Amino acid sequence: MDLTKGAADNYHRSWWKRHGVVLDGEIAAVCFKRGNFDLAAKSYEKVCALYAGEGWQDLLAEVLPNLAECQKILNDQAGYLTSIVRLLSLDKGLFSVKERQAFQSEVVSLAHSEMKHPVPLDVSSLITFSGNPGPPLELCDGDPGTLSVTVWSGFPDEITLDSLTLTLMATYNADEGGKAGPADSDDFMSYEKTTRPVLKVSKPRPLVDLSAAISSALLINEAQWIGIIAQPINYSLKGAVMHIDTGPGLKIEESHSIEMETYINAAQISTDMANSGDARKDGNKNFEQLSLLDGKIEFPDWASNVTSILWIPIRAIDDKLARGSSSGAPQKQSIVDGMRTVALKLEFGISNNQIYDQTIALHFTNPFHVSTRVADQCNDGTLLLQVTLHSQVKATLTVNDAWLDLQDGFVHAGQDDGRPVSGFFPLVISPTSRAGLLFRVCLGNGTALDENKAQPESILNISYRIAGDRTIGAHPPVAAKSNEIEGTSQDLIFRSALILQRPVLDPCLAVGFLPLPSDGLRVGQLVTMKWRVERLKDIEESRVPQTNDDVLYEVNANSENWMIAGRKRGHVSLSTKQGSRIFISILCMPLNAGYVHPPHLGLPDIDEANISCSPAGPHLVCVLPPALSSSFCIPA
């Protein structure tokens, strides 16, 4: 016995545990035969722990009854109950019916007896459960679901289960439940069979995507279709509800239904329209008209698993009148002015528990930008005004008519209706291209001085039509249900404000920039800027609203590049007679080296159209760095 115990201990220390357990079984059998039940029980527990861990139920069925007998003789009620329960949990074919009934009778007898010291008993091995057959139930984070669990009870007939509580334990490895205790553990009941996951919860991921169907600008102040692409990402959108909230300056045209159709790419849409004339009539696509109720719409069933596109009739509102520019002033348009936003909230999933929020940015613009320039002056004083129309949309624009309402101080020459000289209508303008109109105007007689009837700006009116595709950008406005006629459209009116300045061909004052010092400009050195102001006409002959000889001047300069040492604004006296002149000088200091804009002299009370710049000031001047100082020199 001593040699066998020593060999078993050496096997265990050298991690040859199976060989050690074999010897433990022989020691347990000898001890059991000799009546040394305490030592026999300890050895049998090691043997049962290995057999249970390896899943060798046949071998376990041979030695486990001996362990139970030892525990019963030793009055180890807790151990005895555990062993009996474990015997009942083994395969039914390992014991006869009478043997199983004997085990059940022992459990019932102990359950009905009054134990001096009640002990906790793990009976989980008598309960067998399984989840859904096949792969585990898959749910996304936040989704409710139903998990079916089948439970078999291995208790004797006299014992019933009053209640059963199931707890789902998170596992990150399918084999995690199969980890047994150490092989030399005395608690062979700690072993559990490998658990198969019954529920799989997907990691948080995008379930749907909402995006705008177009990227180019739409017409402002006109009813336009905006496309919203709804793309499910391996997730059903059955019963989905979309809430639509328009931002400031935007409203939904409720007079027309919202359209929803299966989404296909732009190339396929063009092919469908070429073949059938209307993509909505394609039999391979789903199409449905939806109604907006309380700011939300419900998705049809066919849109649950396919990418679809929603066409929402919408109007961007801008009360400001479009303003043109002169050829000398470049076009400066801010994209922010035409931006609008639509807030979308999609509720989907089981019981609509999934929520996806997205804000879509849209760009709206006017169909044209207008620029003007005086092309020529005729011998009779007539001016040829060239108006250039710049297309700002990806659509074909057809101008059917145009007329110009002139501001005070100008009148039409030859035609009183304000139409252009050339009557080449209709005028077709391709996307992002431009076209020109020519008007004949001449100066009015003193009407600019009538403040009660003054019209400060001219208005250009354009009657046009647009031919575009809503899948690309700007397109014909959405027609209301009562006025919707297939294949018909009405002319649209675009209005733009133009400020016409009196041409410098007939100036009243001349402002000349006098040459700079020959030694150049340097940072930190004072320099005198000089201008000459000369009257070209007597004040009686000019139309300049000036009643005395005081002229208001103002010097403008970038404060980052120049420091003004004199008065930047003031009055000077200039005689009302032709040929009279004055000089205005100001002391300033350059602050930065490089090519910078010089200070500019302006006459705020006199229209720029009445001022001739002769000689004109330089656009940029060169400022040299400050002279080197020896106190800052570092020897090499």
DSSP 509-565: EEEEEPPPPTT-EETT--EEEEEEEEE-S-TTTS-----SSEEEEEEE--TTTEEE-
Whole-number pLDDT of residue 486: 42
Domain boundary among 85, 112, 139: 112
Domain of 340, in residue numbers: 208-265+286-365
Domain membership flag for residue 190: no
Whole-number pLDDT of residue 271: 61
Q: What angle do CA 413, 415, 416 make, to 5 degrees?
A: 100
Q: Are residues 568 and 598 in the same domain?
A: yes
CATH at residue 573 = 2.60.40
- Count up the domains in the chain and report the number: 4
CA distances, 333 to each of 90, 310, 323, 338, 392 (Å)? 84, 30, 10, 9, 11
167 backbone dihedrals φ, ψ, rounded to 5°: -125, 130
Domain membership flag for residue 591: yes
pTM of the predicted model as reported, rounded to 2 decimal places: 0.58
Domain boundary among 303, 330, 365: 365
Domain membership flag for residue 558: yes
Could you tell me which of 612, 619, 426 has the C-alpha nearest to residue 535? 612
Q: Are residues 3 and 92 in the same domain?
A: yes
E strands present in 190-222: 199-201, 208-212, 218-219
Domain membership flag for residue 184: no
Domain membership flag for residue 40: yes
- The answer to whether the beta carbons of residues 627 and 523 sit under 8 Å apart is no
Whole-number pLDDT of residue 449: 38
Whole-number pLDDT of residue 464: 95
Domain membership flag for residue 271: no
Q: Are residues 435 and 515 in the same domain?
A: no
Q: What angle do CA 424, 427, 431 make, to 5 degrees?
A: 155
> What is the Cα–Cα distance from 533 to 574, expressed in whole angstroms?
8
Q: Are residues 522 and 620 in the same domain?
A: yes
Q: Are residues 361 and 372 in the same domain?
A: no
Q: Are residues 349 and 235 in the same domain?
A: yes
Domain membership flag for residue 160: no
Q: Are residues 87 and 228 in the same domain?
A: no
- Which residues of the chain fall below pLDDT 50? 175-179, 181-194, 279-281, 329-330, 446-451, 482-487
Q: Are residues 216 and 353 in the same domain?
A: yes
Whole-number pLDDT of residue 463: 95
- The answer to whether the beta carbons of residues 55 and 81 sit under 8 Å apart is no
Q: Are residues 223 and 251 in the same domain?
A: yes
Q: Are residues 360 and 393 in the same domain?
A: no
> What is the Cα–Cα distance from 382 to 432, expressed in whole angstroms?
32
35 C-beta neighbours (distance < 10 Å), count = 8
545 C-beta neighbours (distance < 10 Å), count = 12
Whole-number pLDDT of residue 193: 46
The reply to whether omega before 248 is within 30° of 0 (cis) is no
Q: Are residues 37 and 60 in the same domain?
A: yes
Q: For tokens 């090519």, what's the residue?
A: 595
> What is the Cα–Cα distance from 238 to 346, expressed in whole angstroms?
12
Q: Are residues 79 and 1 in the same domain?
A: yes
Domain boundary among 112, 142, 169: 112
Domain membership flag for residue 172: no
CA distances, 202 to each of 113, 139, 174, 193, 405 (Å)? 50, 6, 15, 25, 67
CATH at residue 74 = 1.25.40.10
Residue 299 CA to its chain's centroid (Å)? 22
How many Å from the N-terminal Cα to the C-terminal Cα in the chain? 97
Q: Is 6 exposed, middle or buried (0-12, 13-18, 19+ CB in 10 A)?
A: exposed
Helix (H, G, I), strand (E, B) or coil at 369: strand
Whole-number pLDDT of residue 504: 52
Give the per-residue SS3 of 474-509.
Answer: CCCCCCCHHHCCCCCCCCEEEEEEECCCCCCCCCCE
Which spans in 55-114 are helix H? 57-73, 77-89, 97-112
Q: At what angle do helices 37-54 and 57-73 cross, to 10 degrees?
A: 150
CATH at residue 217 = 2.60.40.10
Could you tell me which of 228, 285, 283 has the C-alpha nearest to residue 258? 228
- The answer to whether the beta carbons of residues 550 and 602 sit under 8 Å apart is no
